[in-house]
Amino acid sequence: MKYRFRDKAITGLAVVVPEHERLFADDMKLFNAPENRSRKLAMVMGYNAHRVVEKGVCASDLAEAGFRHLFDCGRIRPEEIDALIYVTLSPDHFMPPTSCILHGKLGLRRDCFCLDIAQGCCGFVVGLLQAFQLLEQDGVRKAVLVNADVLSRKVSPKDRNSYPLIGDAATIAIVENREGTGEIHADVRFDGTRAMALKVPAGGFRMPSSPETAVMKADSEGNERAPDNLVMDGTAVFNFVMADVPPMLADLVADAGVGFADIDKYYFHQPNRFMLQKLAEKLDVPYDKMPNNVVEHYGNSSGATIPSAMALNDADLLCSKVGKVCFSGFGVGLTYGGIVMNCGNFDFCETITYKGEN
């Protein structure tokens, strides 16, 4: 469905990445694949380094560290936060919502609205839409959108299709009403018939985790994973992105009254470099307008990749100028969406390293 808003803006952005870095050169040693093929895979997909949490670290730990930093620096005060939207596929518990845990730890007001959203690759787009909707209320002046995931904990290190690309991160975006920002156009679509293309089969109520769901099995290529692990149908996801995302974006851009050439920057979800380059070619957008380097620096951190792409590539630019940007996320659900809006003049845009202490 299409959505339209006015005069809303991202006013600050923080990205939290864990200090612990894994290198593809080391990952490779665990794969049952010829070394030359693994090297080619790394070259094509852009695998190099990825940041993963140490054992036991939760997504909300990264988010909390980010908030503590922002409070300490005076970027935002806890009492100013009117809404906390927490988007994750790796919640601390089934019960309670992780947003409530953070609400308690951070000392937020009782009338601050807390909401968990279970979304992945499209989680920044979906979360931003939710923030915009809340900002239509007079009482909501600052909505904070958190995208946090530690899916490395769900990926088998012996799975060459998923492990080298996975990364953990939390991002915090401050979203506010701001006069004169102009129109915002958005579109989010779903195809639940293909919901199981990206999944963690066990661990929920449908298939509770048990000793059996932890047993690793090798697939036809020698990738070893258990039902407790994340698994994706890479070819189906690639075909979905190539077939369904460009027409949705063409529609969105036309609705916004602009052409692809009028967009200054495309901040897209970062599955891997290959898919982003193919997408850029299909939209006829130059590579330098669509950053594709998050996977090689940090790994794919699900809903946190779009803010990561912004902070990694354009932190100074986003604090000094305003440009027309197109956000797009696509994946888990299957969910795909985009937003075209003016973006920039942030109060801050920074990257923080999580070292394990709060």
User: DSSP readout, 269-307?
Assistant: --S-HHHHHHHHHHHT--GGGS---HHHHT-B-GGGHHH
Instruction: Build a one-symbol-per-residue string for 167-206: x at contacts with another protein by CB under 8 A, - elsewhere.
Output: ----------------------------------------
* Minimum CB distance to another protein smaller for 38 or for 60: 38
The residue count for binding another protein (CB under 8 A) is: 22
Q: What is the dihedral of CA 263, 269, 272, 275, to 10 degrees?
A: -50
For residue 86 the two structure tokens come to 């927490």
Residues 257-316 contacting another protein, CB under 8 A: 274, 278, 281-282
The Cα–Cα gap between 350 and 336 comes to 27
Least distance from another protein to the Cβ atom of residue 251, Å? 19
> Which of 270, 332, 328 shows the shortest CA–CA distance to 118?
332
Least distance from another protein to the Cβ atom of residue 243, Å? 6
Member of 238, 293, 345, 348 binding another protein (CB under 8 A): 238
Residue 13: which H helix or E strand, with range? strand 8-18
Member of 78, 182, 203, 234 binding another protein (CB under 8 A): 234
Residues 5-44 contacting another protein, CB under 8 A: 33-34, 36-37, 40-41, 44
* Minimum CB distance to another protein smaller for 77 or for 278: 278
* Minimum CB distance to another protein smaller for 34 or for 211: 34
Tell me the CA distances in angstroms from 157 to 100, 126, 317, one per residue in order: 32, 30, 37
Which of 18-26, 49-57, 86-94, 229-237 is the region at the interface with another protein (rule: CB under 8 A)? 229-237
Strand spans (E) along 251-346 = 265-268, 322-331, 335-344
Least distance from another protein to the Cβ atom of residue 295, Å? 15
Member of 74, 95, 235, 247 binding another protein (CB under 8 A): 235
- 253 burial (CB, 10 Å; 0-12 / 13-18 / 19+) is buried
Residue pair 146/85 in contact (Cβ under 8 Å)? The answer is yes
Least distance from another protein to the Cβ atom of residue 252, Å? 21
Least distance from another protein to the Cβ atom of residue 38, Å? 9
Member of 19, 35, 54, 221 binding another protein (CB under 8 A): 221
Could you give the 3-state DSSP secondary structure of residue 143?
A: strand
User: DSSP readout, 214-245?
Assistant: G--EE-TTS-EE-TTS-EE-HHHHHHHHHHHH
Could you give the 3-state DSSP secondary structure of residue 334?
A: coil
Least distance from another protein to the Cβ atom of residue 45, Å? 8
Member of 202, 216, 226, 236 binding another protein (CB under 8 A): 236
Least distance from another protein to the Cβ atom of residue 274, Å? 7
Least distance from another protein to the Cβ atom of residue 36, Å? 7
Residue pair 25/144 in contact (Cβ under 8 Å)? The answer is no
For residue 284 the two structure tokens come to 């006829």
Could you give the 3-state DSSP secondary structure of residue 351?
A: strand
Q: What is the CA radius of gyration of the chain?
A: 19
* Minimum CB distance to another protein smaller for 84 or for 121: 121
Least distance from another protein to the Cβ atom of residue 242, Å? 5
Q: Which residues bind another protein (CB under 8 A)?
A: 33-34, 36-37, 40-41, 44, 160-161, 221, 233-236, 238-239, 242-243, 274, 278, 281-282
